[in-house]
A = this chain, B = another copy of it.
Amino acid sequence: MTARDLGDRAASRGATARKPTMADVARHAGVSLKTVSRVVNQEPHVRASLQERVQAAISALGYRRNEAAARLARGATMLTLGLVMENISNEFYSRLAAAVESAAARYEALVVFGSYEESADKERMLVESMYARGVDSLIVVPSAADHSWLAEHASLTTVFVDRVPPGLESADVVLLDDVRGGRAATEHLLARGHRRIALVSDDEGISSVHDRATGYRAALRAAGLAADDALTVRGLFDPWRVSHEVSRLLDLPDPPTAFFATNNRAAIGILQALRERPERPAYVSFDDFALADVFNPGVTVVRYDTARLARSAVDLLLNPSPSPRRVKVPVELVARGSGELPPS
């Protein structure tokens, strides 16, 4: 027997006084929830026959339109946080989402999430859509596009994570110590004797990527070396493209002996390239990932505490301040083998 069957039985013998929901109306009318929603919200282009069936079900059940809203208003708290990020199936984001969920649970808050897949339009649509549904607080990993439009939603408390939002530079932001991480990774490779260290980057319009690359260049400069454009690859979202570019660099007459990957996607591209090749260059990746220590050699990474990143964001969100704040979460290098290989 399903929950639904039990509910119908309970309702038919009047055992419970629960109010009918939109789902009950849909079931009674034999139409989809979406159709009920369209009729209830008086959207255009709903067939007259469907409208009549829904209206008949509404009358029969005594459904009141704002039942869900009323239930929300009755609720003890209304804290629902929105989490807007690039792509939850990328491990950086799934770890972040899990950590935000845990941090929010400490405030008995629920988390609504959405991915925009580097589409600034979709990012904006997600924010608008969360706003329309009564989400008051947002955690956003912003795209590289201008974010001044968020000023329209001044009543939304917003904290940005991992990247500074272009056009809203003085918003509350929780960042990783990206410059230091890029510098530490590069210094680690320099200390093993590497002099031709390639940069496998991403879109440098993303502030965190830019800062990691800045750390890389600072470390080279401090060692009396110049960053070599021929050893830099940028704007690579897809591990397969990274893999192709890494192979191309290894085929140069004077190839790099080491790589610094500015994020987990770049590292996966390097792993894919090396699977097919005889060379054993050293590499260090910004971002830890679950299988990093299962490869042989293990992947040397710049690591940070994702739980701390999330807690900082949630704490800022729920304790608003009139002046903007910037929190920097520390990073550390974890040596596992790939970053300790000597120049060949």
Interface, chain A (partner B; CB < 8 A): 1-8, 10-11, 16, 18-24, 26-27, 32-34, 37-38, 41, 43, 65-66, 68-80, 87-89, 91, 93-95, 97-98, 101, 107-108, 110-115, 129-130, 132-134, 136-137, 150-151, 153-158, 168, 170-172, 268, 271-272, 275, 290-291, 293-296, 317-322, 324
In the complex, are the beta carbons of A151 and B65 less than 8 A apart?
no
A65 to B69 Cα, complex, angstroms = 12
Instruction: Known contacts A5-B170, A133-B78, A155-B20; decide if A115 and B98 are in contact (CB<8 Å).
Output: yes
In the complex, are the beta carbons of B1 and A170 less than 8 A apart?
yes
Residues of B within 8 A of A43 (CB): 76
Instruction: Known contacts A33-B79, A320-B33; decide if A151 and B3 are in contact (CB<8 Å).
Output: yes
Minimum C-beta distance from A231 to chain B (A): 23
Residues of B within 8 A of A97 (CB): 88-89, 94, 97, 113
**Minimum CB distance partner of A43 in chain B:** B76
Residue of B70, B94, B112, B154 near A112 (CB, 8 A) is B112
Residue among A18, A43, A322 with max Cβ neighbours from chain B (10 Å): A322
A70 to B8 Cα, complex, angstroms = 29
Quickly give the copy total for this chain.
2
Residues of B within 8 A of A319 (CB): 32-33
Residues of B within 8 A of A32 (CB): 318-320
Instruction: Known contacts A65-B73, A113-B111, A294-B275; decide if A154 and B37 are in contact (CB<8 Å).
Output: no
Minimum C-beta distance from A43 to chain B (A): 7
Residue among A73, A155, A295 with max Cβ neighbours from chain B (10 Å): A155
Instruction: Known contacts A88-B97, A94-B88, A97-B88; decide if A134 and B68 are in contact (CB<8 Å).
Output: yes
A199 to B103 Cα, complex, angstroms = 37
Residue of B34, B94, B129, B320 near A27 (CB, 8 A) is B320
In the complex, are the beta carbons of A151 and B291 less than 8 A apart?
no
Instruction: Known contacts A68-B134, A134-B69; decide if A33 and B318 are in contact (CB<8 Å).
Output: yes
Instruction: Known contacts A3-B171, A69-B78, A291-B268; decide if A21 and B136 are in contact (CB<8 Å).
Output: yes
* 7 more CB-based (< 8 A) A-B contacts, given A75-B134, A101-B114: A20-B155, A23-B157, A27-B321, A33-B319, A41-B77, A66-B69, A93-B94
In the complex, are the beta carbons of B110 and A112 less than 8 A apart?
yes
Residue of B7, B70, B91, B151 near A154 (CB, 8 A) is B7
Minimum C-beta distance from A87 to chain B (A): 7
A130 to B109 Cα, complex, angstroms = 10
In the complex, are the beta carbons of A168 and B33 less than 8 A apart?
no
Residues of B within 8 A of A317 (CB): 33
**Minimum CB distance partner of A272 in chain B:** B294
A77 to B36 Cα, complex, angstroms = 10
**Minimum CB distance partner of A78 in chain B:** B68
**Minimum CB distance partner of A298 in chain B:** B275
Residue of B2, B18, B115, B271 near A324 (CB, 8 A) is B2
In the complex, are the beta carbons of B77 and A88 less than 8 A apart?
no
Minimum C-beta distance from A340 to chain B (A): 17
Residue among A3, A114, A275, A322 with max Cβ neighbours from chain B (10 Å): A3
In the complex, are the beta carbons of B33 and A157 less than 8 A apart?
yes
Residues of B within 8 A of A115 (CB): 98, 101
